[in-house]
Chains A and B, each alone.
Chain A
Amino acid sequence: MNVLQINNLNKSFQNKQVLKDISFTIKPNRIVGLLGKNGCGKTTILKIVNDLLTKDSGSVLVMGNPISVETKKLISYLPERSYLDSDSKVIEVIKFFETFYSDFNKDKARKLLKELGLDENARLAKMSKGMKEKVGLVLVMSRSAKLYVLDEPLGGVDPATRDVVLKTILSNFDDGASMLITTHIISDVESILDDVIFINDGKIILQGEAETLREEHGASIDEIFRRLLK
């Protein structure tokens, strides 16, 4: 069964159509990159999948379920913006996640916090943007979900942190689970992708297996995308 299946998805704001007939599927055990420039509609897709926006038409199925409480149990989502109450301590947020998500592993979360050098008793308000992003990552990767949805997980991190974040992602997602990652800096995640979906102006302009595309075009995914947009 497909982990995520999107068929003919459309969405408009006022008169502007931001998603045009989007269709793609994610099979189990795949890391999929949703690639495109800022404002191309990547985040809109993720928001619809996560019940933060309503769709105009089309269908979205997660493990065969339409968006509902059931799909929220299956998806672990890392939004681009920080959405945690900055008055809370890290450990309080961990407890909150443990209360609401039955697949949340508190011990794993504490272990990851330690690995990333984060103090569980620190208040979010006192943390830098980069540290807060790491806390978000820990929360998301400590769940054993079927689909991890990461919106620009490398958004504000420096090159040194980039490897740490990628390592955390790669060594902590469950066997058989899949991952949907968005980025506008393709070279950052190129090496971890199974499949890529290029989006421009709300439309899918190319999709396929990353290695196959690299062989066919004799170029990196990053390079292929640049050529496509020319």
Chain B
Amino acid sequence: MGFNFKNDTPIYLQIIEEIKKLIITGKYLPEQKLPSVRDFSASFCVNPNTVQKALLELESDGLIYTERTSGKFVTNDLTVIENAKNEAIVKLTLNFLNEAQTLGITKQIIIDIIESESDL
């Protein structure tokens, strides 16, 4: 994978976003075992301690859980995943709206565009 990180945000936050994305899009299914810290670290090309920090954060959010001996798994609680998904959508939309506002685009124009691109 080895994606490009943004320079101004801490890397662990970017990794959290990245792993969340993999979970909401179903790349990692509920109750699926996650790669080890080392594997994540190698595939993202980031520091293992940074991955560890990101995973702890995801665990406290309830998106993943630890089985004492066998590693980390995606939660089986579908509502948590659903919430994360909604949160992501809201966040994405708000970001977009903010951007649109700075460009002076009104809500009505946006709605018009969405309706005309009906196949979306």
Contact = CB atoms under 8 A, between A and B. Distances in A.
A105 interface: no
A214 interface: yes
B8 to A, nearest CB: 6
Q: Which of B5, B10, B44, B45 has the most CB of A within 10 A?
A: B45
B11 A211 contact: yes
B8 A163 contact: no
Contact of B42 (A167, A193, A215): A167
Given A219-B8, A220-B7, A193 B39 contact: no
B45 A30 contact: no
Nearest to B46: A191
A29 interface: yes
B43 interface: yes
Contacts of A206: none
A160 B41 CA distance: 17
Contact of B8 (A192, A210, A218): A218
A136 B118 CA distance: 58
Interface residues of B, number: 19
Interface stretch (B20-28, B47-55, B64-72, B87-95): B47-55
Contacts of B2: 163, 166-167
Contacts of A218: 8
A193 B47 contact: yes
How big is chain A's contact interface, by range?
20 to 34
Given A163-B2, A211-B50, A171 B41 contact: yes
B47 A31 contact: yes
B41 A30 contact: no
B43 A192 contact: no
Contacts, number: 54
Interface string A167-202: 100110000000000000000001111100000000
B49 A30 contact: yes
A170 B41 CA distance: 7
A59 B72 CA distance: 42
A26 to B, nearest CB: 13
B47 A194 contact: yes
A223 to B, nearest CB: 6
Given A163-B2, A191-B5, A170 B11 contact: no
Contacts of A215: 10
B44 to A, nearest CB: 8
A166 B42 CA distance: 7
Interface string A212-230: 0011001110110000000
Nearest to B6: A220
Contacts of B45: 163, 166-167, 170, 191-192
A218 B8 CA distance: 5
Nearest to A217: B8
Contact of A223 (B7, B12, B38, B39): B7
B10 A170 contact: no
Given A171-B41, A192-B41, A219-B7, 4 more contacts: A167-B42, A170-B42, A170-B48, A171-B38
- Top 3 closest A-B pairs, CB basis? A220-B7, A171-B42, A170-B42
5 contacts: A167-B2, A170-B41, A171-B39, A194-B50, A214-B7
